[in-house]
Amino acid sequence: MQATPWFDPGATIFTIPLPDGSIPQPERLDCTVREGTQERPLQQRADADQLGSRVQAGSSVVPVVVVGPTGPGAEITCTGAYLANREVWLLPTLPSTSSTPLSVVIGGVGCLGVGLLVNPRARGSRR
């Protein structure tokens, strides 16, 4: 995997819901992420109400496990028995671009504009 960009919440593992429509527990997927020599289990359940479902390969998929931000070269491994006859997808948690960097740029331009208005030399005043 590539490193997660600034202001990005990272990735989430999605899968097809169970036949009864419920979402499998993260433990059933038994996923871990390895970054360098450190390995951590992925056990944080994704909030399906907040993230919603997505369509992947013609099927509706739901969020199961939060991966979060990762560093460069991170590897995710899932070995749970649930995967014997099902697929999982690693998708961005928020598929749209974040508005935070744009807000920072607009705020910076606004501060420069206020600075030009306040600075007497910028208005052409000379003493």
In the chain (127 residues long), the average pLDDT of successive 10-residue segments reads 64 86 86 89 86 80 87 86 83 71 87 86 68
Look at residue 60 in the predicted model and tell me its pLDDT.
Answer: 84
Where exactly are the structural domains of the chain? 1-94, 97-127
Cα within 13 Å of Cα(91), Cβ side: 21
Cα within 13 Å of Cα(92), Cβ side: 12
Other CB atoms within 10 Å distance of the CB of residue 51? 18
20-37 pLDDT tens trace: 888 888 888 899 999 888
Look at residue 8 in the predicted model and tell me its pLDDT.
Answer: 65
What token pair was written down for 39? 């390995």
Instruction: Give the DSSP letter of residue 95.
Output: -
